[in-house]
């Protein structure tokens, strides 16, 4: 169903937009109408009568506080009219009312016959159909509008856009049944800002909303790469960004955690005066096209997201979640030692489930039956009690579906204990590297895990309040929930444990051989890019099913990275793949993931992509990936490293990896 709106109509729309925006505030700005000629009714039909009833009911309901209402008119199936409207989350009731009333009048003039219509305005959307349209996500038709001017600094723009849209999609879909709406502004440079908006009809479930928004966002790289503004309007949701405030910034409550985006790197970018405020719209070149029914390349992602969010929805219904969201005080997080002793059977060996960095981990069960994971920190942390509490409070506020949730802590005498949500499927390494179990992880599951880790890391790096560098990302720190969603654990440990936080040098290396970027392992320099390196290693492990540090030397294969690089260089990257994936893999996805993995493990930290770029690359099949440089091959010996106390190093051997001196020609390497 690919259609294009005639230029004349676009011009008409444009002139109406300009005209109306000058005339009066409460006249809505018409954008487009979807008026298929496949279903039609006649002027004297019962459907027409029902439609009139529907319109008056919707108009009278347009004062609804959440800017949404659905209604049905008629009883007998062929003639029942189903309708709904959705006002933009920030508009006032009066504006919403005006928009809906205008829409009900205008829609019959513009589209007098069709039974199944959607009309879009800046302020609201109205739709009706002879089939039920409630509580189900619809992306079967849509509209893309864009401002064809480009942002000046494209790299930075993409990073910021990825982070902003990911955040508002998550927040909007979590919006409950009241309003599924979120906005966010981010500093682009000292003069320029980026404003983003995401909204679903509130009748959607969390998972449907999330899927719809992300499908919308995934169009940006294709349709509107680098454009100064763009929006995707689906029947069930819409997403938009601009370089000027297009929604009422004061009316939209700022997100609870102030976003911590990377500081502007190009303060000298040209001023935005030309594209701000009201002038913005009229200077925009709007191009309207009807979006094809669900891009097939995204099908995989969609299915995974759906499954994942479905599980998440169930989870969100539980009481604990809403309670945890309201954490404000240290007291609400503090457990007493007796409770934890009782829950873990006094830290019995039977309850021990792991030995992570900084201490042992026990499974526990609270009196109310809730299962928890208890991490008993090794006792000489050198961090004072107050500091510890403050850090725990901050880390507990980091909440993302791909992070293991920190539920609380216990502090008594020398004892410092952290309490986490319990993950039934243990850690990724126990499945991925187990000869019996690894077959359970087919490609769709592995891909979902890769995506989940990327999103979780993006949150830690850019969207959370604190900007956390994980420093010890590895398979044993990726836990899996019941639906095999990846949950990153052990984040914020450096903070809680009182290790130097500032970016730069540390003489205390907290990490695991093989996963550590060379600059971190050898010089103690850590940054978000050293996490990106570890992420790249993880990706290659997940695809190959082989441990970074456990390689079969009899095959003359030095290590996973050199092996992956050699295959890539020979144009046969897919040979890296775990043979059990043969039946389930998608050639395109696997080779793209290998490509991304190799980009992440490059020697030069600056050459590695940011997590925002990684997420974007995973979501878009049309972004052209850079050609990776040879990965970092280094040969640390344990003695050269200054390992901190209590730090896990689950490697028993360290490999001596010869530095490759091959002069490689890489011009024909892209295997796609």
Ligand X SMILES: *[C@@H]1O[C@H](CO)[C@@H](O)[C@H](O)[C@H]1NC(C)=O
What is the spatial distance between Cα 422 and Cα 363, in angstroms, rounded to a whole number?
A: 7
> Which residue in the block uniquely carries the two structure tokens 């509209």?
143
Least distance in angstroms from the C-beta of 134 to ligand X: 4
Least distance in angstroms from the C-beta of 82 to ligand X: 7
Q: Which of residues 187 and 660 has its CB atom nearest to ligand X in the complex? A: 187
Instruction: Give the β-pairing of 30-34 and 193-200.
Output: unpaired
Least distance in angstroms from the C-beta of 387 to ligand X: 26
The DSSP code sequence of 375-416 is EEE-S-----HHHHHHHHHHHHT---TTBPPEEEEEEETTEE
Number of H helices, E strands in the chain: 19, 20
> Which residue in the block uniquely carries the two structure tokens 């390196």?
533
The DSSP code sequence of 59-87 is HHTTT-TTSEEEEEE-SSGGG-EEEEEEE
CB-based contact 416:388 (threshold 8 Å): yes
Residues 6+ apart with CB under 8 A from 530: 469, 471, 516, 517, 519, 520, 605
Q: Which of residues 93 and 322 has its CB atom nearest to ligand X in the complex? A: 93
Q: Which of residues 78 and 292 has its CB atom nearest to ligand X in the complex? A: 78
Q: Which of residues 128 and 515 has its CB atom nearest to ligand X in the complex? A: 128
Least distance in angstroms from the C-beta of 201 to ligand X: 9
Name the residues annotated as catalytic. Answer: 472
To which H or E segment does residue 567 belong? helix 560-569
Least distance in angstroms from the C-beta of 476 to ligand X: 35
Least distance in angstroms from the C-beta of 84 to ligand X: 8
Q: Which of residues 68 and 420 has its CB atom nearest to ligand X in the complex? A: 68
Q: Which of residues 203 and 531 has its CB atom nearest to ligand X in the complex? A: 203
- Bridge partners (DSSP) of residue 128 are 83, 117
Give the CA dihedral 148, 152, 154, 159, nearest 10 degrees.
-100
Radius of gyration of the chain (CA): 27
> Which residue in the block uniquely carries the two structure tokens 């000629």?
37
Q: Which of residues 245 and 439 has its CB atom nearest to ligand X in the complex? A: 245
CB-based contact 103:119 (threshold 8 Å): yes
> Which residue in the block uniquely carries the two structure tokens 């850090």?
391
Least distance in angstroms from the C-beta of 142 to ligand X: 17
Which residue has the closest beta carbon to ligand X?
251
Residues in touch with ligand X (CB under 6 A): 37, 39, 57, 60-61, 64, 69-72, 77-78, 115, 130-131, 134-135, 148-150, 186-187, 190, 203, 225-226, 248, 250-251, 259
């Amino acid at each position: 169903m690919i259609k294009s709106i005639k230029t004349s109509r676009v011009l008409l729309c444009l002139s109406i937009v300009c005209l109306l925006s000058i005339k009066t505030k409460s006249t809505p700005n018409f954008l487009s109408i979807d008026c298929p000629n496949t279903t039609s009714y006649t002027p004297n039909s019962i459907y027409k009568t029902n439609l009139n009833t529907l319109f008056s009911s919707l108009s009278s309901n347009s004062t609804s506080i959440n800017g949404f209402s659905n209604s049905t008119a008629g009883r007998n199936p062929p003639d029942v009219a189903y309708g709904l409207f959705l006002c933009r989350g920030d508009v006032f009731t009066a504006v919403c009312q005006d928009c809906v009333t205008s829409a009900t009048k205008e829609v019959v003039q513009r589209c007098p016959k069709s039974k199944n219509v959607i009309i879009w305005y800046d302020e609201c959307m109205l739709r009706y159909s002879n089939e039920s349209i409630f509580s189900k996500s619809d992306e079967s038709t849509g509209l893309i509008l864009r401002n064809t001017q480009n942002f000046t600094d494209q790299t930075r723009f993409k990073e910021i856009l990825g982070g902003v849209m990911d955040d508002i999609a998550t927040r909007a879909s979590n919006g409950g049944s009241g309003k599924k709406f979120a906005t966010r502004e981010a500093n682009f440079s000292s003069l320029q800002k980026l404003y983003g908006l995401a909204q679903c009809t509130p009748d959607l479930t969390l998972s449907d909303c999330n899927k719809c928004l992300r499908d919308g966002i995934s169009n940006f790289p294709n349709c509107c790469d680098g454009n100064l503004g763009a929006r995707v309007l689906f029947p069930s949701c819409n997403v938009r960004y601009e370089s000027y405030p297009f929604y009422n910034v004061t009316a939209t409550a700022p997100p609870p955690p102030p976003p911590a985006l990377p500081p502007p790197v190009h303060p000298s970018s040209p001023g935005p005066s030309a594209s701000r405020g009201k002038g913005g719209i009229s200077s925009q070149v709007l191009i309207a096209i009807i979006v094809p029914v669900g891009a097939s390349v995204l099908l995989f992602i969609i299915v995974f997201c759906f499954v994942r969010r479905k599980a998440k929805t169930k989870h969100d219904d539980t009481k604990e979640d809403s309670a945890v969201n309201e954490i404000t005080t240290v007291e609400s997080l503090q457990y007493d030692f007796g409770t934890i002793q009782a829950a873990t059977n006094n830290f019995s060996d039977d309850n021990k489930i792991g030995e992570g960095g900084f201490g042992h981990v026990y499974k526990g069960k609270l009196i109310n039956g809730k299962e928890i994971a208890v991490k008993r920190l090794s006792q000489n942390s050198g961090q004072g009690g107050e500091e510890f509490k403050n850090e725990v409070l901050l880390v507990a506020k980091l909440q993302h579906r791909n992070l293991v949730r920190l539920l609380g802590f216990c502090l008594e005498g020398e004892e410092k204990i952290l309490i986490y949500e319990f993950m039934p499927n243990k850690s990724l390494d126990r499945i991925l590297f187990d000869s019996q179990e690894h077959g359970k992880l087919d490609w769709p599951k592995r891909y979902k895990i890769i995506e989940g880790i990327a999103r979780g890391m993006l949150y830690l790096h850019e969207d959370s309040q604190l900007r956390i560098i994980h420093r010890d990302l590895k398979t044993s720190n990726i836990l899996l929930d019941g639906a095999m969603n990846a949950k990153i654990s052990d984040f914020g440990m450096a903070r809680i444990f009182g290790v130097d936080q500032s970016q730069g040098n540390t003489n205390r290396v907290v990490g695991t051989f093989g996963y550590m970027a060379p600059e971190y392992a050898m010089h103690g320099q850590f940054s978000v890019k050293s996490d990106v390196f570890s992420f790249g290693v993880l990706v290659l492990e997940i695809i190959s099913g082989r441990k970074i540090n456990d390689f079969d030397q009899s095959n003359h294969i030095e290590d996973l990275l050199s092996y992956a690089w050699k295959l890539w260089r020979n144009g046969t990257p897919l040979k890296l793949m775990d043979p059990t994936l043969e039946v389930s893999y998608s050639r395109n996805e696997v080779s793209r993931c290998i490509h991304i993995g190799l980009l992440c493990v490059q020697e030069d930290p600056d050459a590695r992509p940011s997590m925002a770029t990684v997420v974007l690359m995973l979501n878009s099949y049309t972004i052209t990936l850079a050609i990776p440089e040879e990965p970092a091959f280094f040969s640390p010996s344990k003695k050269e490293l200054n390992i901190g106390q209590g730090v896990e190093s689950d490697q028993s051997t360290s490999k001596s990896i010869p530095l490759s001196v091959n002069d490689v020609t890489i011009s024909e390497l892209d295997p796609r």
